[in-house]
Structure 1
Amino acid sequence: MAHPKIWFILSEGQTTGPFDQDEIEARLGSAKDPQIWGRGQSEWMTPSKWRQALNDVGMKVSNAEPPGLWRIRVEGQELPPRKYSELIAHLKTLSDYSFVDISPDEKTPWKEVYSVPRVVEDLGISRRSHPRVPIVGTLACEGPKGSFSCRVISISEGGIGINDARNLQIGERFEGTLTSPNLFITIPATCEVVYVGGDGYAGLRFINLPTEYKSSVIEYVNKFATT
C-alpha cells in the first residue's frame, strides 16, 4: 500500500512537497538543516522527531464504524463524547474546522479534523475548509494588559496558533502585528482568543481581516494543498 503524500520539507527558507515518507527520506540527505511538517502536526519537526511521529499520522479508512465514544473540542470547549456516526453528523453542521479537534478515546491526543483520514473521507472535505499549516513567525501584540509577543507556529485563513502565550483568556481581543519570513507582507490583525492550552499554546481567530492580508495568507496556505 502506497504511503500518503502529506509531508513537506522546509530547507533554506523554501517549502517543497507534498511527499510521501519514502520521498522525504530520499531528500533529507541533500537538504540543509531540514524541517518536516505533515497534516496534523503542530509545528515543524527535525528529521528525528519526524521519524518518531510516523506511527501517529492518523487512522486508516475502513468501512466499519469505529468503536467507542469520540471526543470533540470546538474552540477550546469540550463537548459530550459521542458515537462516530454522531460525531460526523455534528461535524457536517460546521463550516470551519480551524479550531475543531477530535479524539477516538481518552488516551489518544487531540487531532485536528484534517489529520484523520477516515473523518476527512466521510465528511468529503478534502482539507478545503481553512486547513492549519505550519509557519515561522512572531506576533507583536497590544492589549489591555500591555505589550507582549509570542511565537507563531501555525496559520489558516481563519487564524493562527501561537506558543509562549501567557495569561490569555478565551474571548479576549487585542491588536497584533504578524511578521514572518514565509509571508511577503507584514499583517496587522485584530485577534480573538478561542483556545488556551496548559502548555502555552493558544488559538487565535482573525477578526475582519482585510482582503489584502487574507489573500496573502491564503496564498501561503495553498502551498501546502495536497492533491
Structure 2
Amino acid sequence: MISTQAWADARRLWDYHQVGHTPRPCSVAIGLGSHDLGVADTAVDLYKQGMAPLLVFTGATSPTTQERMPRGEAVHYRERALELGVPSSAVLVEPNARNTGENIKFSRAVLEEAGVQVTSVLLISKPYEERRAYATACKLWPGIEFVSASTPMTFDEYVDSIQDAHLVIDMLVGALQRLLVYPEQGFMISQPVPDDVREAYERLCRQGFTSRLLATNP
C-alpha cells in the first residue's frame, strides 16, 4: 500500500524531472532508447510537426528490454517510425549505447560521420528522464542548444501505462539520485534541486523505494 505522502512526493519528483521546454525546430531529434516505444511515437509526432528533419534513435538492449526488443532499442524505434510513415532516409540508428552518456556520445559520432551539421538537438526521452537527458547532453556536447521533450502525460497516466506504481516511484527516485551524484563524477552538469524535492526524495528512500538506486548512500 502506497501512502498518500508517498504519492505526493512521487508527483513532486515527477514534476521536477520534466524541464518544461517548449519544442521548437532543431537540427536533429534524438530519441533515447528504453522500454518505452512512446519515445519513438513522440519523435515521429515532432518530426511530422516539422520540429526536426532527421531522427536518430539510440540504444542497444538492457535486461528490461532484451525480451521486448531483441533487435535492440534503436532498431525497434526505427521500425516503429517507419510503420508510422517516416521515410527511411530521415532515420539514423545508433545501436550500441547502454546508458544516457553513451546515447549522447555515440549519437554525436553517428551524426558527425554522416556529415550532419548540428547546432541544436531535440532530446526525446521518457517523461521522468527529461532533466537527466538534458544535464547529460549539456555536459558531453558543449556548444549545442538542447531542448528536452517527452510524451505529454501526467504522473497518474504514466503509472496507469506501466501498471506498477512501486516500480515507477523507484525509477523517479533513481533518476533523482543520479542528478545529485553524477555531476561530481563528471557525467552531467549540475542542476539546482529545490529543498522540497530533496526532502521528498529522502522520504521516499526511507520508505523503501530504492530498487533503482546506485550502490552508494542516497
Bigger proportion of residues as helix = 2
TM range (shorter): under 0.3
Bigger proportion of residues as strand = 1
Higher Cα Rg: structure 1 or 2?
Answer: 1
TM-score normalised to the size of structure 1? 0.23
